[in-house]
Chains A and B, each alone.
Chain A
């Protein structure tokens, strides 16, 4: 089955530690995105990538980093510089930058 997979579903980390969230897609999509969702709020764009080996900052990139070494993978690292990392993180992909996006099931990160 084609789809987009995020892992893990739940993640707990101690304050000050870096953590990497996985996002893999087998849809052969060029574009991939990371969003952050806080309780009762909409989605805010962290980073996006329109093609392999290229990515751009979104609205709230500070404290985050990404890589796009393979077409199917777009991992997100939440660094210790991110002041308030506890949130629900959503990864998405789209065939190109102008087509509909498909989302993974999300990773809920809790930093204690």
Chain B
């Protein structure tokens, strides 16, 4: 079955760049997504990338996709304390279930 893996924790200093990594198994995924979850809240769609793209940039966010290695990354430039949250990688899976989520990476931004 499909599986999405992420490291569970990441700490960075305010102003540095953060890179959150994700690996997935379903090579037929059409889209890959990054969601952000703040404490006690739902998931907010940050960005997504179509599977035939290598890179997508949106303001401070850069998504890199290595389809050969099934590796996705999210880079946050100039990380701020407001970026502290859990970040989920997701792929649209097969079998009609649509989304398979990773376990989430908890990003802590230190002053």
- A residues whose Cβ falls under 8 Å from a Cβ of B: 6, 31, 33, 35, 41-43, 45, 48, 50, 56, 58, 90, 92, 94, 97-106, 108
Q: How far is the CA of A101 from the CA of B35 in the complex (A)?
A: 10
Q: Across the interface, do B98 and A33 meet the contact criterion of CB distance under 8 Å? A: yes
The reply to whether A100 and B40 form a contact with Cβ atoms under 8 Å apart is: no
Which residue numbers of B lie inside 8 Å of A, CB to CB? 30-31, 33, 35, 40-45, 48, 88, 92, 96-99, 101-104
Contact between chains at B97 and A58 (CB < 8 Å): yes
Q: Please name all residues of chain A whose beta carbon is closer than 8 Å to the beta carbon of B35 when the two chains form the complex.
A: 103
Do residues B88 and A98 form an inter-chain contact, with CB atoms below 8 A? Answer: no
What residues of chain A lie closer than 8 Å to B103, measured between beta carbons? 41-42
**Known: A48-B97, A48-B98, A101-B98. Is A108-B40 also a contact (CB below 8 A)?**
yes
Q: Which residues of B sit under 8 angstroms from A43, Cβ to Cβ?
A: 43, 88, 101
Closest to A104 in B: B42
Contacting pair B45 A100 (CB below 8 A): yes
Task: Give the shortest distance, in Å, between A86 (CB) and chain B (any CB).
Answer: 15
Q: Hey, which chain A residues are within 8 Å of B102, CB to CB?
A: 42
How distant is B95 from chain A, measured CB to nearest CB, in Å?
Answer: 9
User: A35 CA to B45 CA in the complex, in Å?
Assistant: 16
Contact of B31 among A35, A48, A100, A102 (CB under 8 A): A100
